[in-house]
Each structure stands twice: as structure tokens, then as C-alpha cells.
Amino acid sequence: MIVTKKNKLIGIITDGQIRRKSLDIQNLQTKKVKDIMTKNPITINKDVLAMKALGIMNSKKITSLCIVDKNQKVIGIIHIHNILENSVN
């Protein structure tokens, strides 16, 4: 996650983005974070149920969601594997 000094979320870089960019290693070596990050990523409030988070990830075809508080400050991230592992136990 890329955040401002005040902990406001402005972007995210996923492993998939890095893998796709690393196919052209010269391109990756010259790129800045701001050039490859997804601006304004999808977020979820910390008080939302995990099943809703899973539904959002499935519908948007993403594997991670940034967790924010009511002031849109970053407090964490949730990955689809975390939800699936915890729902089995």
C-alpha cells in the first residue's frame, strides 16, 4: 500500500503487477512506484463482515482489499486466502 504522511491511502501495488512488469526487467528498473501503482484502490471499512469482503473480492476479481477506518486512514489489508483459511477452521 502507498500512503501519504498522514496515512491516507493513495495506491497499491500487487504481486501480480510486479510480476507483469518484471517480464520487461529494464522497464521495471526505470519505473517509479507512482508509475505502476493502482490509484484509488478498492477499500473496505474495518467493521464490515468478512463475508462481504469476500463477495467484493470475488465480484471485482481481486485478491486483496485495503482496510480503512472512518477517516479513510489505512489500518490493514486482507487477502482472500486469509478469509478462506479462517472460514474453514
Cα–Cα distance measured from residue 83 to residue 17, given in angstroms and rounded to the nearest whole number: 22
Say if residues 72 and 51 touch (Cβ distance below 8 Å). no
What is the mean predicted confidence (pLDDT) over 28-51?
A: 88
Whether 76 shows a pLDDT value over 70: the answer reads yes
Please classify residue 75 by burial: count the beta carbons closer than 10 Å to its beta carbon, then call 0-12 exposed, 13-18 middle and 19+ buried. Answer: exposed
Whether 52 shows a pLDDT value over 90: the answer reads yes
Residue ranges per structural domain of the chain: 2-88
pLDDT given for residue 28 in this prediction: 72
- Strands 74-79 vs 64-68: parallel, antiparallel or unpaired: antiparallel
pLDDT given for residue 14 in this prediction: 83
The predicted model scores a pTM of 0.72
Options 3.20.20.70, 3.20.20.210, 3.90.380.10, 3.10.580.10; CATH for 2-88 is 3.10.580.10
Cα–Cα distance measured from residue 75 to residue 28, given in angstroms and rounded to the nearest whole number: 28
